[in-house]
């Protein structure tokens, strides 16, 4: 048993099993980030900004995420514990503001938790849009019950899959992540071999609507591209279950950033070059010129290679969303577990079942996700906003931006309030030299 101290008392928390390898930690990071955006978001983004602006936005977002990744790498090397992102803020704010740290830890823990739930709800509505397009020709034509059914099924399945011990869970995530790599490579092969691709389409400076203000075009999609790099701290959530976490988790975060950047930029370029596009009738996305085929990977694959390939990619996107939801729920259950350990969450969230899994936390997440995702889906159908997927994506982007700023506060706080704390990785000079990392 391990004990976590709190001004409200001490809580005995059953220890989690250490079964995640270095490779598994990297796959946790990639699996948690690559869900729906890599395959479904390029059409709406290209419609707003055009090819060059979208590619620029992805690159700018990656560069802007690098300082955050470095900060998270340092924090994760200091706190190799479950629910890392919550623990970083809890202890840093506790030292920075004595007497108020636990309250701030509670509030920032909830903020992180709710923001990630919003991101997952966004992805679920992306799945609803995809399924409605296949079954009914579009989300507007789908019956009212269709979206809630898809959402409950998605989170029900991924919550149930999370009931296995962590070693098996990482193998499941590895399978889903390998499939995502195969999808990216397969789509590249289809586009390049189709004979319809043209590099000239990549040089489009203006947006499809005719705006030639490049910076404004980049800005119009930058928040969405920033949201695409969220969950980069997910491998830190499972630090307590990762072997040699002080060194392995920081390395996994850096590899994750490089990997997902390559996928986002590559898929944006491939979709843009694949064929000719024009604005849809409502101006919300791009469609293949003269058709209603949207600029998503499944629909483009079907257009250039036939319905069989389109069906395969549709199935792949569904599996990608399931895999992303699965590993994100896994990580967030560890955040709930950690919050319970500091007595700022109900103690039952720290109880483990026979497989070493915080089941109560998982099912509470299921209920919360269904509430947010279904609520946004039904609000969209009333006309409150045009698309639940885009609305939740932008909402999540704003929430996560604030969460990301707090990580910077945490690392500065710990640099000054506890400079002697062990760090296997440190941003900047005078980093502690240890095997695997060396900073001078």
pLDDT at 60: 96
| C-alpha span between 7 and 418 (Å, rounded) | 20
| pLDDT value at 239 more than 70 | yes
| C-alpha span between 196 and 250 (Å, rounded) | 42
| C-alpha span between 82 and 326 (Å, rounded) | 17
Cβ-in-10-Å burial (0-12, 13-18, 19+) of 153 comes to middle
Taking only the tens place, the pLDDT of each residue in 125-147 is 988 988 898 888 878 889 999 99
- CB atoms under 10 Å from CB of 284, counted, come to 15
Half-sphere exposure of 400 (CA within 13 A, CB side): 25
| pLDDT value at 248 more than 60 | yes
Query: How would DSSP label each residue in 94-140?
Result: HHHSTTTHHHHHHHHHHHHHHHHHHHHHHHHHHHHHHHHHHHHSSGG
| C-alpha span between 173 and 334 (Å, rounded) | 16
- State the greatest distance between any 2 C-alpha atoms of the chain, in Å, as a whole number: 68
pLDDT at 438: 36
**Could you tell me if 220 and 49 are in contact, meaning their C-beta atoms sit under 8 angstroms apart?**
yes
| C-alpha span between 213 and 220 (Å, rounded) | 11
| C-alpha span between 375 and 331 (Å, rounded) | 24
What is the rounded average pLDDT for all residues in the chain? Answer: 86
The listed range with the strongest mean pLDDT (54-63, 102-111, 275-284) is: 54-63
277-279 vs 9-13, strand pairing mode:
unpaired
pLDDT at 306: 92
Higher pLDDT, 374 or 340: 374
| C-alpha span between 431 and 149 (Å, rounded) | 51
The answer to which of 8-12, 85-89, 236-240 has the lowest mean pLDDT is 8-12
| Closest of 72, 164, 182 to residue 427, by C-alpha | 72
Residue the block writes with tokens 């995640």: 20
Taking only the tens place, the pLDDT of each residue in 381-417 is 888 877 888 888 878 878 888 888 888 888 888 888 8
Higher pLDDT, 130 or 51: 51
β-sheet bridge partners, residue 3: 12
């Amino acid at each position: 048993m391990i004990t976590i101290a709190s001004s409200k008392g001490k809580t005995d928390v059953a220890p989690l099993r250490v079964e995640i390898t270095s490779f598994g930690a990297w796959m946790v990071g990639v699996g948690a980030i690559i869900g729906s955006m890599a395959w479904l978001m390029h059409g709406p983004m290209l419609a707003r900004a055009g090819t060059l602006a979208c590619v620029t936005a992805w690159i700018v977002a990656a560069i802007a995420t690098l300082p955050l990744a470095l900060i998270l790498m340092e924090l994760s090397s200091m706190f190799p514990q479950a629910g890392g992102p919550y623990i970083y803020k809890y202890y840093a704010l506790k030292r920075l503001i004595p007497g108020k740290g636990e309250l701030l830890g509670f509030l920032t823990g909830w903020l992180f938790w709710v923001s990630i739930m919003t991101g997952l709800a966004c992805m679920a509505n992306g799945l609803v849009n995809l399924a409605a397009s296949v079954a009914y020709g579009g989300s507007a034509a789908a019956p009212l019950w269709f979206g809630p059914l898809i959402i409950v099924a998605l989170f029900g399945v991924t919550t149930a899959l999370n009931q296995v011990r962590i070693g098996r869970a990482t193998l499941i995530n590895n399978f889903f992540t390998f499939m995502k790599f195969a999808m990216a490579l397969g789509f590249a092969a289809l586009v390049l071999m189709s004979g319809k691709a043209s590099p000239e389409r990549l040089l489009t400076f203006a947006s499809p609507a005719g705006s030639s203000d490049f910076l404004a075009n980049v800005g119009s999609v930058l928040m969405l591209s920033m949201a695409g790099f969220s969950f980069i701290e997910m491998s830190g959530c499972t630090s307590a279950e990762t072997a040699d976490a002080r060194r392995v988790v920081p390395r996994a975060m850096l590899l994750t950033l490089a990997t997902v950047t390559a996928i986002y930029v590559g898929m944006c370029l491939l979709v843009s070059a694949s064929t000719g596009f024009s604005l849809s009738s409502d101006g919300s996305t791009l469609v293949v010129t003269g058709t209603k085929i949207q600029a998503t990977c499944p629909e483009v694959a079907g257009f250039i290679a036939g319905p069989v390939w389109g069906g395969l990619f549709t199935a792949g996107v569904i599996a990608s969303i399931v895999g992303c939801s699965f590993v994100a729920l896994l990580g967030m259950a560890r955040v709930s577990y950690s919050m319970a350990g500091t007595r700022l969450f109900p103690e039952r969230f720290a109880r483990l079942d026979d497989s070493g899994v915080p089941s109560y936390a998982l099912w509470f997440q299921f209920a919360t996700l269904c509430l947010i995702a279904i609520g946004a889906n039904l609000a969209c159908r009333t006309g409150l906003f045009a698309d639940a997927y885009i609305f939740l994506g932008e909402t999540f982007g704003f929430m996560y931006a604030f969460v990301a700023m707090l990580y910077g506060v945490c690392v500065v706080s710990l640099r000054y309030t506890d400079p002697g704390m062990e760090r296997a990785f440190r941003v900047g000079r005078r980093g502690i030299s240890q095997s695997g990392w060396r900073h001078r």
